[in-house]
Each structure stands twice: as structure tokens, then as C-alpha cells.
Amino acid sequence: MKFIEEPTNCPCCDYKLEKIKDQLFCRNTACSAQCLKKIEHFAKVLKIKGLGPKTIEKLQLAEITELFYLDEAEVYNTLGEKIGIKLLEEIEKAKRADVATVLESFSIPLVGGTAAAKLAKVINTPADITVDKCKEAGLGEKVTENIITWVNTEYKELEEFLPFTYTKSSVATGDKVCITGKLKNFKKKADAEELLLAAGYVLTDSVTKDTKYLVDENNSTSSKRSTAEKYGITIITDLNDLLKDKDNK
């Protein structure tokens, strides 16, 4: 029986790999493969049209900040004037992104749209992020650890080169929704939360008198369920019904 030898170094940058729970990770923040994926994710979240993998390769981008200092003539020569003009316009629009979108775009581990939206309610710029602010936003311990590490390392190095205006995210004023237990139609709770946020609902981690709906698809006996019954709060047994109801209004 032939065994495959486990690699010890990153095949891209030759940095020593770190093994965590049978998975290998390259921790070199300057690894070109990681940088490429980060730029792709950045462009996708900020909705920079025309900045796909091929364009990133053509422009020879190695860091996110390089996007904001592209030479106009070089862009036109590389992509053609028509495409180049559109791309530069898209990049200019991205500078006006709200703080939640900017945070989500930086590929911070465990910080997706939901965590970024929660944090954006208590800060104005990434420089405002502290452990206390993360706690106020209701973020978990691991998420907090990851984002504080990012602020103290990567963001600190990039801050002076980032031209964002950090528009304040619009504050949701819709009905408050709380989720308890596992969801049947969503593998990740975060996916469901993003849909609820997009539909205008306000997410809460606990049930109070102000909560409009409790999503409980498993008919649980949780304290959230008991509190919801006590206050006469509407209990939703299928989250899709709540989302469909919003679409029909």
C-alpha cells in the first residue's frame, strides 16, 4: 500500500505548514496564493465588477491596497481603455462602502456578513474596534480574538493606505427576530441570519418583550422558547415562512 507523504512546507511560498486537527495551514500572510484569494474575496464582497481572477492576474496585483493606486495609463494599456475606465469607476465606488461591508471584505476568519453587521452598529471605523466593542456587539470569544488580532496586525499595516470613507451602515429598524436551536433548511445559522438581515429584520441573541418572532424549528424546550411563550411572542417553526411573508409585503 502506497502512502502519500505529508507536506511540511507550503507549495506556493515554502513557508512551514502548521497542523491543526488533521488540517495543514500556511500562516505566511505574504503567501502569494493567499493574497490572490484575499483580493478575489475583497472584490466580490465590495461588488467591484470586472475584477475577477484573470483581471487580477493581468494587473499583477499582490496586495489589496494596490487596487487604490493603479496607474490609469497602465490599466488602459493592460485592459483596454473602455474596460479600464469601467474598472476604475467601480474601484472609486468601492471607497464609499459602509463599515460592515469593508470588514466582511478582508477575509478575517469567522467574520462574515452577520458578525460584521453586528460590529458595525457599535463602531464607525475599524480603528474603533476593541474587546469591549466586540462584547457590546454580541460577538463570541473566538470571533473577537480573530478580529482583534487582525486589527493589531494586518489593519495596522494597511490603515494609512486605505481610502475608505467608512460610511455608517444603515441601522435596521424592522421586527426583532431571535433564533433558537438548529435550523432544518440551513447548514449554517450565519446563512439564515444574513437572509434575515437582508430582509430588514433585526437579529437578537435573547428574547425580550420587544422581540417580534422566535424561530424554533425543532419545537425545543429552551429558555428562549419559554420566554417567548410567556410574552406571547409569535413562534416560527419554518424560517422560510417568515422570509416568504416578508417578500410578499
Average pLDDT over residues 99-128: 92
- Cβ-based burial of 187 (10 A; exposed 0-12, middle 13-18, buried ≥19): exposed
**pLDDT at residue 167 above 80?**
no
- Residue 245 pLDDT level (bands cut at 50, 70, 90): low
β-pairing, 17-20 with 23-26?
antiparallel
Average pLDDT over residues 1-27: 79
- Residue 171 pLDDT level (bands cut at 50, 70, 90): very low
- Residue 161 pLDDT level (bands cut at 50, 70, 90): very high
pLDDT tens-place string over residues 197-211: 878 888 888 899 889
Alpha carbon distance 166, 168 (integer Å): 6
Percent of the chain whose predicted confidence (pLDDT) is above 90: 59
Of 47-61, 111-125, 164-178, 201-215, minimum mean pLDDT range: 164-178
- Residue 68 pLDDT level (bands cut at 50, 70, 90): very high
